[in-house]
Chains A and B, each alone.
Chain A
């Protein structure tokens, strides 16, 4: 009974959760702690920025009172942006944890199957053709369409003649489809002029700056129900990680679970990437960090990933817009700069107890 994959980034064979890992009690403690961190992050990201607000000003604005500027900053700028960070971060982490279980591969993350490439191709096409002025919905729509194209393409390839889905083929075709889109991106960039190229590169590194209530509600409409569906699949995902055949013998309808998990995890990532661009590392690092702390039970791991991913991206966005103000750092840079050292520290600790 060896590990299916080489240990990669998951921290060696000894990296298992503590003895109490997987208990309901431990889960609730973690959930409360992560929810508290998330609330603090949300509060700070509403409070801090170019114009610093007091707690009273924030409360007034939330009630619809106070100065018009205060209401505008809180309700129209910072709150939707913070909520977008919450949804996209939480969604990416749940999506990443799901892909890791589904593909039985610790290196899996939301973009591994070509979603980011598809989304970026769609977005860059709109940017390069200079259609941005037409409507603000065109860019996310194009990105989402590109992502959806990649999702269906990869799914179509991985579906064999007898309608079974082979996850090894899924992984391989996803990576190859991703490479194809990357070539498309390179072509668009090569032909684009300098300003377009700059906005394209910035888009690809991710940003929450365009968040509005309408974009937040679209992302919420995708992320929340699909994440709930994945939580409901978590028991089956546990079984999938000990092998498809065994999962079937323990009561899982393997083909259905694979399709649902692939579809839900993919469209969560697609909705996020459409409005926030390609934000790396959240979907890879958050589930692994949690796995090192609470163990591999997806019933615990998926909900906690949502909370942790949400908190992490909210903090990352706060740093992105305040650290070098008035310039904004691409959020993908912040997630990598914050996430990688944090994760390496955890990894180090887990292999030398």
Chain B
């Protein structure tokens, strides 16, 4: 699955400054692509624009070469699994039901889940280490557990691409590393993974390419070595930073002074 965007401009209110101001990108198939940037730089807006859930002022977004508005929501849901940053549940539902919703886009109208759907759900529950939580009410889960349940739901969609908005924000070290390794493995198996994150070091270590946003514009794009440069990062984050190769991981690590 290939994501493309050309000169995206998004404005939430008519006279407000643009949330996205001429952003272009191309995410090749099977790439682990990290989108970085300070708070309010337009990362989540970019995700919505790529997925066609936000009206564009100008520019265009395309999935696999076809403009995103030509896809139905169900077609997109069969191809792209999305893990939004925030979600609130109005009525009590179990983890099993929540992850089972990942199969909805694949069901026939009025159809129910069959054996293969159940197996996909089971597999997703196992991969995200939430099998033991299946009967829990999602509203009783910890932040990290809920995060993993949402990732399992996206995985149950059997997607060709995944977009995750801050998926490791409330995870402990072990679960963060497990999820990042999973993302890496999925990318290696051909699934395109777009990871929105604040964690520069995780992006540096696991992503193939990085896109650094600043106030709705692209500040830098390229491999971790091309993007994670002190001068670029310091001007974007407005803080003194130190970038050097981490002796343990062998990738660039950013430390705030």
Q: Are B92 and A253 in contact (CB under 8 A)?
A: no
Q: Are B89 and A253 in contact (CB under 8 A)?
A: no
Q: How far is the CA of A297 from the CA of B101 in the complex (A)?
A: 11
Q: Are A13 and B91 in contact (CB under 8 A)?
A: no
Instruction: Check: B138 CB closer than 8 A to any chain A CB.
Output: yes
Q: Give every chain B residue within 8 A of A291 (Cβ-Cβ).
A: 91
Question: Which listed residue, A1, A14, A248, touches B53 by the CB 8 Å rule?
Answer: A248
Residue of B nearest to A232 (CB): B110
With A3-B88, A291-B91 as known contacts, state yes or no: A250 contacts B135, CB within 8 Å.
Answer: no
Q: Give every chain A residue within 8 A of B88 (Cβ-Cβ).
A: 1-4, 242-243
Instruction: Check: B93 CB closer than 8 A to any chain A CB.
Output: yes
Question: Which listed residue, A16, A105, A239, A243, touches B92 by the CB 8 Å rule?
Answer: A16
Q: Give every chain A residue within 8 A of B104 (Cβ-Cβ).
A: 235, 238-239, 250-251
Which of B82, B90, B102, B109 has the largest number of chain A CB atoms within 10 A?
B90
Q: Give every chain A residue within 8 A of B93 (Cβ-Cβ).
A: 16, 241-242, 295-297
Residue of B nearest to A18 (CB): B135
Task: List which A216-247 residues lie within 8 A (CB) of chain B.
Answer: 232, 235, 238-239, 241-243, 245-246
Residue of A nearest to B140 (CB): A13
Instruction: Check: A322 CB closer than 8 A to any chain B CB.
Output: no
Shortest beta-carbon distance from B77 to chain A in Å: 3
Instruction: Check: A205 CB closer than 8 A to any chain B CB.
Output: no
Q: Are B91 and A251 in contact (CB under 8 A)?
A: no
Q: Are B91 and A106 in contact (CB under 8 A)?
A: yes
Question: Which listed residue, B84, B90, B98, B107, touches A104 by the CB 8 Å rule?
Answer: B90
Q: How far is the CA of A11 from the CA of B82 in the complex (A)?
A: 31
Q: Give every chain B residue within 8 A of A19 (Cβ-Cβ).
A: 135
Q: Are A13 and B78 in contact (CB under 8 A)?
A: no
Instruction: Check: B59 CB closer than 8 A to any chain A CB.
Output: no
Q: Give every chain B residue within 8 A of A239 (Cβ-Cβ).
A: 101, 104
Q: Are B94 and A16 in contact (CB under 8 A)?
A: yes
Q: How far is the CA of A277 from the CA of B53 in the complex (A)?
A: 41
Q: Are B102 and A250 in contact (CB under 8 A)?
A: yes
Q: Are B51 and A3 in contact (CB under 8 A)?
A: no
Q: Give every chain B residue within 8 A of A105 (Cβ-Cβ).
A: 90
CB-CB contacts of B36-59 with A at 8 A, as 1s and 0s? Answer: 000000000000100101010000
Question: Which listed residue, A17, A101, A245, A250, touches B90 by the CB 8 Å rule?
Answer: A101
Instruction: Check: B146 CB closer than 8 A to any chain A CB.
Output: yes
Instruction: Check: A5 CB closer than 8 A to any chain B CB.
Output: yes
Task: List which B58-107 residues lie within 8 A (CB) of chain A.
Answer: 72-74, 76-78, 80-82, 84, 87-94, 97-98, 101-102, 104-105, 107
Interface residue tally for chain B (C-beta within 8 Å): 43
Q: How far is the CA of A292 from the CA of B91 in the complex (A)?
A: 11
Q: How far is the CA of A296 from the CA of B73 in the complex (A)?
A: 24
Q: Give every chain A residue within 8 A of B178 (Cβ-Cβ).
A: none
Instruction: Check: B182 CB closer than 8 A to any chain A CB.
Output: no
Q: Give every chain B residue within 8 A of A253 (Cβ-Cβ).
A: 72-73
With A1-B88, A296-B91 as known contacts, state yes or no: A16 contacts B73, CB within 8 Å.
Answer: no
Task: List which A227-282 residues lie within 8 A (CB) of chain B.
Answer: 232, 235, 238-239, 241-243, 245-246, 248-254
Q: Give every chain B residue within 8 A of A251 (Cβ-Cβ).
A: 73-74, 76-78, 104-105
Question: Which listed residue, A17, A22, A243, A254, touches B87 by the CB 8 Å rule?
Answer: A243
Instruction: Check: B137 CB closer than 8 A to any chain A CB.
Output: yes
CB-CB contacts of A279-302 with B at 8 A, as 1s and 0s? Answer: 000000000000100011101000
Instruction: Check: A21 CB closer than 8 A to any chain B CB.
Output: yes
Which of B82, B89, B92 has the largest number of chain A CB atoms within 10 A?
B92
With A24-B112, A235-B104, A251-B77 as known contacts, state yes or no: A246 contacts B90, CB within 8 Å.
Answer: no
Instruction: Check: B141 CB closer than 8 A to any chain A CB.
Output: yes
Instruction: Check: A336 CB closer than 8 A to any chain B CB.
Output: no
9 further contact pairs, Cβ within 8 A, besides A1-B150, A5-B90, A249-B77: A3-B89, A19-B135, A22-B97, A242-B90, A242-B93, A245-B48, A252-B73, A254-B73, A291-B91
- Residues on B close to A: CB < 8 A? 48, 51, 53, 55, 72-74, 76-78, 80-82, 84, 87-94, 97-98, 101-102, 104-105, 107, 109-110, 112, 135, 137-141, 143, 146, 149-150, 157
- Sample of 22 A–B contacts (CB below 8 Å): A1-B146, A3-B139, A4-B90, A13-B92, A16-B94, A19-B135, A105-B90, A106-B90, A235-B107, A241-B89, A242-B93, A243-B84, A245-B53, A246-B87, A249-B80, A249-B82, A250-B104, A250-B105, A251-B74, A251-B76, A291-B91, A296-B91
- Residues on A close to B: CB < 8 A? 1-5, 10, 13-17, 19, 21-22, 24, 100-101, 104-106, 162, 232, 235, 238-239, 241-243, 245-246, 248-254, 291, 295-297, 299
| 10 closest Cβ pairs, A-B complex | A251-B77, A104-B90, A251-B105, A249-B82, A1-B146, A251-B74, A16-B92, A296-B91, A4-B88, A241-B90
